[in-house]
Amino acid sequence: MTREQYISQLEDASYRRDYERIIAFDNEHFIPAVRFDTAMFLMQTAAMRQPKNVLEIGFGSGASSVFIRHGLQNVPGYRITTLERDNNRYVRGQALFAELGISDIELIKCDAFDWLHNCDAEFDYIFLDAVKRDYIGYLPFIKKILGKNGILIVDNTFFNDKVLQPIDELEEKYRSGVGLLDRFNRTLASDGDFMTMMYNIGDGMTVAVRR
């Protein structure tokens, strides 16, 4: 028996059903989705941290924001804002929320950089899951809006283990993006404003707590 098989015997099957329902919903176009263990990690960190104001940069399939919402059911007056620039994903997300009866997640169709440039709100939980080469560009905005003791969670920070490989051994098309992601990882890890840890969950999860 593998670790995954053992865990699957013990986990609450309702969460797996929720996840599979989201992934399968109106799947006409390719929609990137967080992995199931990532979705569970997001739910549990939200339940432990009990944030009031959540921002997601990169809506994708909706699994991440829905599972964060699962973790906040005992938090009065929580607010989740999620940003998506792709029209197909935005339209599908609106239909998904209608299907699931979800009205307390605000899905905004926008370019995240434009939105963040004009944002004056403060958040205590931010999940970043956008284009990987853009992560380094988001960091100054995140530092501006993430409150004291706020938590930043970043997905895909191993990028299918490409960040572990020497740049000159990668296919040319990946070199620039992987280099920028590696720069982001190293910049965040060395930033004294954060306590940062990388976890071997999904495709790599980085958790940084604002000092």
The residues, ordered by sequence, that sit 6+ positions from 63 with a Cβ below 8 Å of its Cβ are 19, 22, 23, 33, 34, 39
Q: What is the share, in percent, of the chain residues with pLDDT greater than 70? A: 100
Give yes or no for residue 12 having a pLDDT over 80.
no
Residue-level pLDDT at 5: 80
Opening angle at CA 9, ends 8 and 11, nearest 5: 60
SS3 41: helix
Say if CB 206 and CB 135 are below 8 A apart. Answer: no
The CATH number given to 3-210 is 3.40.50.150
Evaluate the CA torsion angle 137, 141, 144, 147 in order and state its sign. negative
CA dist 63 and 40 (Å) reads: 10
In this structure, the chain runs to a length of 211
pLDDT at 104 over 90: yes
User: Each residue of 169-211: pLDDT tens digit?
Assistant: 888 888 999 899 999 999 999 999 999 999 998 899 999 999 9
Q: Which residues are registered as beta bridge partners of 53?
A: 79
